[in-house]
Amino acid sequence: MQFDYDVSIIKGIGKKTKEELNKNNIYTVKDLLYFFPKTYDIFEENPKLLKSEELTLIKGTLDANPVFIKKRMNSNSIIFYLNCYDNRIKCIYFGADYLRFKLYKGTTCLLYGKYNSQFKEFVVKKIFFSDFESKIECNYKIKNTNNSTIKRAILDIYSNDIYIKETLPENLVSKYKLFDINTYIKKSHLPESRDDVKQILRRRKYEEFFWYSIRLEYLKSLRDDLEKPKRFYNEAVKDFLDNIPFKLTEDQKTVLKEIDNDIFSGRPMNRLVQGDVGCGKSIVALYSAYVEILSGYQAAIMVPTEILARQQYEGAVKELSKYGIIVELLTSSTRNKNDIIERLASGRINLIVGTHSLIEDKIKFNKLGLVVIDEQHKFGVRQRQKLIDKYKYCDCLYLSATPIPRSLGLTMFGDLDISSIHTMPEGRLKTITKIVDYNHINGLMKSISKELDKNNQVYVVVPYVEDSSEMDVMDIDRAYNLFKDYFPNKNIVRVHGQMNSVEKESVMNEFVSRRADILVSTTVIEVGVNVKRATVMVICDADRFGLATIHQLRGRVGRSSFQSYCILLTDDVDNNRLRIIENNLDGFNIAEADLKQRGPGNYLGETQSGYFALDYADFYEDIKIYECAKADAIELLPKFKKKELESNIFNDIIKNEMKNRNINN
């Protein structure tokens, strides 16, 4: 079977399955072989792990008929007691209607899950009614496609002779006793033991780190040879600094000096400026734009939403128009778009602020010198690059309100300069953060009522759009109805990610313009909204959110001189993670704590795959593997020929990264 054959040639892959695979960029036999399982569930009995809060498999017999109940959010669940290993264990399983006809006193079954020491119960993820000693299930997480379908397809592929050329230098495979490529690919889909899974992940993590390090070192070597047209310093920039309507913090001053050094150097700027919401990144961006404009260049600021674009535009007009700088706004709803496009191409617009509209092919610049990507993690690599490619060797400034721990940043962005703003402007009141039990919701509503009486506004954030049958959590409709019951005379609106952009913008405008009192939302309001009268942020089931997300949501309030509050509504009031948020307002400290507790995850969002480029390796947990891979990459890079680096495995990866880092070859 040839690698480039269409997946439809594989036995068991019909039209519908092919369509689902295509949605995941699986078109050929090779694509399927390289589409690895996202997780492995290892089902092995281990009585020692029974109360360890680790996932494990236990076996036992029900000593009584189960009880089916509906909890606070009307989610179905089942509670029963299992006799196993001389213990009587309370077990709970969510979304269990079908089990009414399978579980009863005397039933013997195998349960996969983990023990919750707080509630002294075993939370069941999966139930088996047939006996076995051990099994491993590969989870591909492809929508509308069973894992068993993929397994049968893989078995069909391997019913033929398959040979894959080694992708790692063979001395490294030998050095670390890694699976060779053919064993690795096959075992990835068809593991036979726990040790197989361990060895699969060893190779996978090392290989990801190795190629990541190789291309990082390669990009560094390319950047050393780059030169950009010289920028010239203009004394007029001092007027801008003297007339800023507030006092710059020391961190802001430091960042401005770093940006000056970048702009007036001979190499393109590639700098990430990170800092909490409200720390003053916008003025840094406007300063950078003004410096470039004074040197004869144009500047562009791209933001993820129309509301944020308008806010940035109004700020830019306020700060720069008095110096004769022409600023325009370009979004999907801009009416005089053709006029703006013509003036931008002819150089009669100095600064353009916009959304994704800026990356349209018809948008041309006369002399683009600076690209600012605000809330850069909200854009995909290709989206950012389409703007950067508008003019050769332009300076690039990325802004992020998601602080990244320094240790992580140095590994993730080894070829990017990082600036951090820790201090906040003077005069800001600290947002008071409190963990509140659902049992005390009446008292919370009385406090919220006082804020509404002051003509202030309230955010309510929930973890899910729709009711989950498997988890007892708040959703959009339930939260809306809850607050409507308490505040029937207030205008309450809803917004979530499943709404189209026009609907979302309409709802958000209603809240921003203060025509709505309470906004019930998912995390779509995490960035970009600046509502000064919003003084309360209620996060429902706060224990379901990551610390970084909670901190970002908290940043939606406290944006004025009014005292603001962040309420963490939860049943789990003793949650250690929430205590960190309750007692800490510094985003960098929170990021470090989050990193230690759960690893880095994907700090910069799902669209960052071309930036971060790691699916399995973890910079925090696997730091020793990373250090070995990086040392090997530095040693072996000179041995690769340029053609090798830009072909085979590098063909797509390196070229995409070169574009992403603003390197033209």
For the record, the structure tokens of 14 come out as 């019909």
Delimiting residues of CATH 2.40.50.140 domain(s) in the chain: 46-132
Q: Choose the CATH number for 46-132 among 1.10.3720.10, 3.30.70.260, 2.40.50.140, 2.30.29.30.
A: 2.40.50.140
Q: Specify the pLDDT at position 270.
A: 83
The pLDDT of residue 378: 53
CB 535 within 8 A of CB 562: yes
What tokens appear for 480 in the block? Answer: 């809306």
328 beta partners: 352
Residue type (1 letter), 581: I
Residues 663, 563: Cα–Cα separation, whole Å: 46
Burial class (CB in 10 A: 0-12, 13-18, 19+), 639: exposed
Least confident of 163-172, 184-193, 284-293, 381-390: 381-390
CA 123 to CA 93: how far, in whole Å? Answer: 6
| Distances, alpha carbon 259 to alpha carbons 267, 270, 390, in Å | 12, 10, 21
Alpha-carbon dihedral angle through residues 446, 450, 453, 459, given to the nearest 10 degrees? -80
Mean pLDDT of 441-462: 95
For residues 267-277, give the mean pLDDT.
Answer: 85
CATH number of 237-421: 3.40.50.300
CB–CB of 562/456 below 8 Å? yes
Residue 455 phi/psi, 5-degree rounding, is 70, 25
Q: What is the pLDDT of residue 1?
A: 64
User: Strand, coil or helix: what is 429?
Assistant: coil
CATH number for 432-584: choose from 3.40.50.300, 3.30.70.260, 3.80.30.20, 3.40.50.720. 3.40.50.300
Amino acid identity, position 521: S
C-alpha 578/C-alpha 600 separation (Å) is: 18
Q: Which of 9-23, 138-152, 421-435 is least confident?
A: 421-435
Q: How many helices (H) and strands (E) would you count in the chain? A: 23, 21
Rounded distance, CA 366 to CA 565, Å? Answer: 47
Two structure tokens written together for 78:
């089942």
In one-letter notation, the amino acid at residue 260 is D
For residue 74, is pLDDT > 60?
no
Distance between CA atoms of 226 and 490, rounded to whole angstroms?
59
Output the pLDDT for position 474.
87
**Side chain identity, residue 525:** I
**Residue 243: is its pLDDT beyond 50?**
yes
pLDDT tens across 562-619, in order? Answer: 899 999 999 988 888 899 999 988 887 887 777 666 555 444 343 333 334 567 787 7
- Mean pLDDT of the region 317-321: 94
The H or E element containing residue 328 is strand 327-330
Residue extent(s) of CATH 3.40.50.300 domains in the chain: 237-421, 432-584
What does the longest C-alpha to C-alpha distance in the chain come to?
86
pLDDT digits 0-9 by tens, 119-138: 899 999 999 999 888 889 99
Give CA–CA dist 575/592, Å, rounded. 17
Rounded Cα gap, residues 460 and 567, in angstroms = 9
Burial category of 500 from C-beta neighbours within 10 Å (exposed 0-12, middle 13-18, buried 19 and up): exposed
CA dist 332 and 321 (Å) reads 23
With residue 183 as reference, give the H or E element that holds it: helix 181-189
pLDDT digits (tens, 9 = 90+) for 410-422: 555 555 678 888 8
| Interatomic CA distance for residues 433 and 585, integer angstroms | 9
pLDDT value for 222: 67
Q: In sequence order, what are the residues at sequence separation of 6 or more whose Cβ sits closer than 8 angstroms to the Cβ of residue 513?
A: none
Overall average pLDDT of the 313-317 stretch: 93
Sign of the alpha-carbon torsion through 440, 445, 448, 450:
negative
- Distance, in Å, from the CA atom of 144 to the CA atom of 148, rounded to the nearest integer, reads 12
Band (pLDDT 50/70/90 cuts) for residue 649 is very low
